[in-house]
Amino acid sequence: MTRAALLLLVFSTCTVQREVALTFGPEGEGLDGFMCRPPGGPFLVERARQPDGGVRPAALVFDFVRLGGVPGCRTGQLIKWCATHECKPLRSTRACVPITLPALPPVMTREDLRQPLLSAMKQISNSGVLDDAPDEFVIVRVVGSLQSCDALTPAADAPELPAFDKNELIGCAYSCPVLLDRVEQDVYLGFETLTGLCEQGVRTCSDGQLQWQP
């Protein structure tokens, strides 16, 4: 059984190195957040399509979002929790990995996207994301963007993480709250939606404080 896995290195308190994989699931079922579109508009990943048929380069940005507690992992629970708690990505843990998106046909269904996207994610299988995991409950979030890693990685003296350009987003996924140095299995990244009309959810997922976006 294959999976799109990204290697996360975790050091335990006794300095023994452990490895935890981030996964979108064996069939790419966690990629629903990369198969979103606004009402009446194209899929967000189609923003990468160029007029000559080429594909713009993209980036996957991994953040570890501090929660200040342990909320539930349903979208509504997280949004409610973050309305009264500071839910911010830890500045020192952002990682960015360039990715080449698949060339997409001019007409496609939502499910037509899943396998090409899963294949694209496998390009970065076994990429190291973080060498030392936060010793607190976090959610692991991955945001797809057409911005470059240079634009989304903070400068050494920058006090805040660069914000995502909402017009360059191509998808988002996140984990349940997890204490990474205690986890005993792969960490699943997904996105809660029953429909492809989920562009608003991608904007919310990528927000710097996980606040609901109108």
**Least confident stretch, 40-49, 105-114, 160-169, 197-206:** 105-114
Range of the domain at 85: 5-205
Question: What band does 18 get if pLDDT is binned at 50, 70 and 90?
Answer: low
**Least confident stretch, 2-6, 97-101, 208-212:** 2-6
Domain count, the chain: 1
For the chain, the average pLDDT equals 88
This prediction has a pTM of 0.91
pLDDT at 7 over 90: no
Burial 89-99 (b: 16+ CB within 10 A, else e): beeebbbbbeb
Please, which residues have CB within 8 angstroms of residue 106's CB and are 6 or more apart in sequence?
none
Q: Is residue 184 part of a domain?
A: yes
Q: Is residue 211 part of a domain?
A: no
